[in-house]
Amino acid sequence: MSIQVLPEHVVAQIAAGEVVERPASVVKELIENALDAGARTIHVEVSGGGRRRIRISDDGVGIPPDEILLAFQRHATSKLRTTADLEHIATLGFRGEALASIASVSQLTMTSRHSDYQAGTLLHLNGGTLERQQAVGAPVGTVTTVENLFFNTPARLKFLKKENTEKRQISLIITRYAMAYPQVRFVLEQDDREVFRSNGSGQLADVIVHSLGIESFRNMVEVESDETDRAPWTYIHGYTSVPSLHRADRHQITLFVNGRWIQDTRLSYAVTQAYHTFLMNGRYPVAVLMLRLPPQDVDVNVHPTKAEVRFRDTDSIFGAIQRGVRRAVVDLASTPSMRGARFGQILPYPLHSYETRNTQMDMGLPLETPGQYRRQSLYDQNASTNDPTEIPAGPDAPARPRTLPILRAVGQVGAMYVVAEGPSGLYLIDQHAAHERVLFEQFMANFARQEPIKQYTLTAQSIHLPPTEARLLDEYAESLARLGFEIEPFGPNTYVIRSVPAVLGDASPGDVIADILADLSAERQPGQAAIEHKIITRVCKGAAIKAGQILSLNEMQDLIRQLERCESPHTCPHGRPTMLHLTNEQLAKEFGRLGA
């Protein structure tokens, strides 16, 4: 095949692939243009997850009539003139690629009126080709409508995610820019329903409440640069979570540099390192941090979407972030009463005091079907069999085969571990991990039979979620329904919980949903089965006996009987061991009785 120069429209579509990956990319680029134009209000409307229609209105300075068509040519920009300008970029956009790339893969209409002109200009482009241009009456500002995104690139359209996934990505973009620019009022509507609104008060705290939720903000503390910091040219401001508020991954550590959201593994690690000894391994804080530094000390021209940057002195910035966050957390640790009961102490997880261990707690472990009837005892004296080793798997199911030897409960250690005796030695059982395994296998058995056991709430309970979590709930609503959750929309980002799986009968439905969404937001495994497995695992973890709960001898024996009949009794659903076994030979060796 001979070498040829590609046609201009093919070049434009190839270039668009670097800038416009999905509908959220279009929203990001157009919002950046609006912010660079000095907008104080930005209104975003989305239909069909952004594939069908995206409309962004702003009240910025607008575009002059003689420049509006020029704005859609590749590498046309008002942000810089020479390569020297790249060393001190103070705007979000500067390459002049976004509008040309978006127009080349969509049907785009723009109406813009510059503040110095009495009339505006309307443009309509189809796949990058101008079809109409005319003068129109319009308020100062710009309205851009992008329809049928990727209509002429079906390969790209085929690789888009589900509609709810695209909605969630757009919500994430809006909330990030709202936090970076709290003085700007943002409104997001998706399918004619308002899902986010910031008030433009200029206070970061106000936007965090709307973006992350009031409960999260109540458990966050302010971070501020110290005047004595060794990097005085770097200003850091924001909020970070108390140690009791944490997540399963780093994705809720949100960093901005000069108003630009960035992805930087090393700086995220600096935030995590500030919590050394305060958080368990594998748990990460929630943080929103703003960095301000001279433009010449940061290079933003290293990534097509400008999501990654390079710093002139990364070590100093790393240290400044780590010290600022650490100072806020340590100061909080010295005055825990300021954060209320949810913070409590600085330990990574709460432990019951010795005073609370002096009283027995009625656990009421499940019986006939493990995890189903929480108020019954495991061994039913009226059962048809007289052999206590034959444990029925359910009212109409045959007894399950035993996978462990017959064990006898002896006692409890530290309100966390059950001591049991068996034919081959001593067993130390983790009560939480063991009960997780029991509940998980019972739940999976019901799920395989398509018989989720629900428990309806006595009164309808409502929950209000941050926009991104609300879109996540919409995305996985069908999976949750199959597992026994009945959740109905009830206003913007508000839902009513009608029922939950029966094993969660004693749990707070709102807390359970929050925990499930936290796990799903960290989910990286594709496939519906993996998602539903993740939800079931979280449900069982929330319903299982907790460390620190004192059990009666009967309750210990009930738990052991259930574990004896599990298919995989040696690990919990997360893979942690449920028990340690010390054989008779090991005991004899430790006591020096071998050969005696």
pLDDT, residue 189, reads 94
Looking at per-residue pLDDT, the higher value among 523 and 442 belongs to: 442
Handedness of CA 35, 36, 40, 45 (dihedral sign): negative
pLDDT at 560: 92
pLDDT value at residue 480: 85
CB 484 within 8 A of CB 454: yes
Q: Is the pLDDT of residue 288 over 80?
A: yes
pLDDT score, position 302? 63
Grade residue 86 by pLDDT with cuts at 50, 70 and 90. low
Q: Classify 226 as helix, strand or coil.
A: coil
More confident residue, 227 or 44: 44
Q: Is the pLDDT of residue 337 over 60?
A: no
The SS3 of residue 532 is helix
Tens-place pLDDT, residues 46-68: 999 999 999 999 999 999 999 89
Residue 449 has a pLDDT of: 73
Nearest CA to 114 among 138, 85, 149, 91? Answer: 138
pTM: 0.70
Output the pLDDT for position 235: 86
- Average of per-residue pLDDT values in the chain: 79
Per-residue pLDDT tens digits for 541-576: 878 888 888 889 999 999 999 998 888 888 888 888
Mean pLDDT across 236-250: 88
Q: Which of 171, 53, 216 is nearest to 470 (CA)?
A: 171
Average pLDDT over residues 443-461: 70
Q: What is the pLDDT of residue 595?
A: 61
Asked if residue 180 has pLDDT above 80, the reply is: yes
Contacts of 16 (CB under 8 A, 6+ apart): 100, 101, 102, 104, 105, 153
Domains detected in the chain? 8-197 (3.30.565.10), 213-339 (3.30.230.10), 351-596 (3.30.1540.20)
Question: What are the pLDDT digits (tens) for 88-122?
Answer: 566 676 666 788 889 989 999 999 999 999 999 99
143-152, 216-225, 277-286, 499-508 — which is least confidently predicted? Answer: 499-508
Q: Which residue has the higher pLDDT, 517 or 48?
A: 48
Percentage of the chain modeled with pLDDT above 70? 75
Among the listed residues 180, 143, 135, the one whose alpha carbon sits nearest the alpha carbon of residue 59: 143
For 363-387, what is the mean pLDDT? 38
Q: Give percent above pLDDT 90 in the chain.
A: 30
DSSP symbol at 62: -
Rounded distance, CA 210 to CA 199, Å?
9
- Confidence class for position 329, pLDDT limits 50, 70, 90: confident
Cβ distance 149 to 54 under 8 Å? yes
User: Which of 39-48, 469-478, 561-570 is modeled with the greatest confidence?
Assistant: 39-48
37 φ, ψ (degrees, to nearest 5): -85, 5
User: What pLDDT, on the 0 to 100 scale, is given for residue 330?
Assistant: 84
Separation of alpha carbons 45 and 324, rounded Å: 38
Write the pLDDT tens digit of every residue in 188-226.
999 988 999 999 999 999 999 999 888 889 999 999 876
Q: Angle of helix 314-334 relative to helix 265-273, nearest 10 degrees?
A: 30
389: pLDDT strictly greater than 80: no
Whether pLDDT at 81 is above 60: no
pLDDT band, very low/low/confident/very high, at 399 (cuts 50, 70, 90): low
Please give the residue that has the higher pLDDT: either 5 or 28.
28
Does residue 80 carry a pLDDT above 60?
no
Taking residues 17-40, report their average pLDDT: 87
Q: Is the pLDDT of residue 310 over 50?
A: yes
E-strand ranges in 70-165 read 107-113, 120-126, 129-136, 141-147
Say if residue 4 is exposed, middle or buried (CB neighbours under 10 Å; 0-12, 13-18, 19+): exposed
Kindly report which listed range (206-215, 380-389, 428-437, 528-537) carries the lowest average pLDDT score.
Answer: 380-389
State the pLDDT at residue 522.
67
pLDDT reported for residue 61: 93
Higher pLDDT among residues 103 and 462, named by residue: 103
User: 342 with 241: CB under 8 angstroms?
Assistant: no
- Supply the pLDDT for residue 352: 34
pLDDT in tens, 153-171: 887 777 788 888 889 899 9
**The pLDDT of residue 531 is above 90:** no
How far apart are alpha carbons 166 and 160 in whole angstroms? 8
Rg (CA), the chain: 29
CA distance 448 to 44: 43
Query: b/e map of 181-214 (b: 16 or more CB within 10 Å)?
Result: bbebbbbbbbeeeebbbbebeeebebbbbbbbbe
CA pseudo-torsion sign 314, 318, 321, 324: negative
Q: With bands split at pLDDT 50, 70 and 90, how would you rate the model's confidence at 402?
A: confident
Residue 357: the pLDDT is 34
Q: Phi and psi for 594 in degrees, rounded to 5?
A: -65, 130
CA 214 to CA 532: how far, in whole Å? 28
